[in-house]
Amino acid sequence: MGLFRKLRNKWNNWYYRDLEDEEEWDGEELEEDRAASELGERYFSDADTRTVYVLEALGQMREGAEKAEQYQNEYDAVNSLLMDMEDLEDLPSDRRAVIMEQAGKIEKLERERRQVFAAAGQLEEHRVNLLERYEDDVPGGIRRIREAEDYRKLVKMDLRKMEAEKASNRYQLREAVMTVQNSRGVAIICAVAMVIAIGILLMLQQMYGMEVSWGYLLICGAGAIALTVLFVRYQDAAKEIKRLEKLRDRMIGLHNTVKIRYVNNTNLLAYMYTKYEVESSAELEDDWQRYMDVVGARQKDEKLKEDLEYYYERLTDCLEENGIRDPEIWTRQCRALVDPREMVEVRHALIGRRGKLREQLEYNRAVAEHAKQRIKDLAAAYPQYSKEIAGIVERYEGRQL
Taking only the tens place, the pLDDT of each residue in 270-294 is 888 888 888 888 888 888 888 887 7
pLDDT band at 400 (very low <50, low <70, confident <90, very high): low
**Alpha-carbon gap, residue 80 to 102, rounded angstroms:** 22
**Alpha-carbon gap, residue 8 to 180, rounded angstroms:** 12
**Alpha-carbon gap, residue 22 to 18, rounded angstroms:** 7
Residue 255 contacts residue 31 (beta carbons within 8 Å): yes
| 3-state SS class at 252 | helix
Q: What are the distances in angstroms from CA 194 to CA 188, 189, 211, 326? A: 10, 9, 18, 91
Burial degree of 240 (CB within 10 A; 0-12, 13-18, 19+): middle
Among residues 280, 266, 248, the alpha carbon closest in space to that of 172 is found at: 248
| Chain-centre distance for alpha carbon 60 | 10
Q: What is the DSSP letter of 340?
A: H
Residue 148 contacts residue 268 (beta carbons within 8 Å): yes
323: left (phi over 0), alpha (psi -120 to 50) or beta: left
Among residues 95, 85, 116, the alpha carbon closest in space to that of 342 is found at: 85
| 3-state SS class at 92 | coil
Q: Is the pTM of this model over 0.75?
A: no
**Alpha-carbon gap, residue 271 to 354, rounded angstroms:** 10
**Alpha-carbon gap, residue 294 to 289, rounded angstroms:** 9
Query: Lowest-confidence range among 34-38, 78-82, 313-317?
Result: 34-38
Mean pLDDT of the chain: 78
Residue 343 contacts residue 337 (beta carbons within 8 Å): yes
In this prediction, residue 136 carries a pLDDT of 83
pLDDT higher at 63 or 180? 63
DSSP states along 25-79: P-SSPPPPPPPHHHH-HHHHTSHHHHHHHHHHHHHHHHHHHHHHHHHHHHHHHHH
In this prediction, residue 40 carries a pLDDT of 59
Backbone angles phi, psi at 97, to 5 degrees: -65, -40
Query: Lowest-confidence range among 49-63, 215-229, 273-287, 357-371?
Result: 215-229
Instruction: Report the pLDDT averaged over residues 137-153.
Output: 88
Q: Which amino acid is at 254?
A: L
pLDDT band at 12 (very low <50, low <70, confident <90, very high): very low
| 3-state SS class at 335 | helix
Note the pLDDT tens digit of each residue in 340-387. 888 888 889 888 988 999 999 899 989 888 888 888 888 888 888 778
pLDDT band at 220 (very low <50, low <70, confident <90, very high): confident
Q: Is the pLDDT of residue 75 over 70?
A: yes
pLDDT higher at 13 or 95? 95
Q: Which of 31-35, 220-224, 350-354 has the highest mean pLDDT?
A: 350-354
pLDDT higher at 139 or 116? 139
Q: How far apart are the first and last CA of the chain?
A: 65
pLDDT band at 42 (very low <50, low <70, confident <90, very high): low
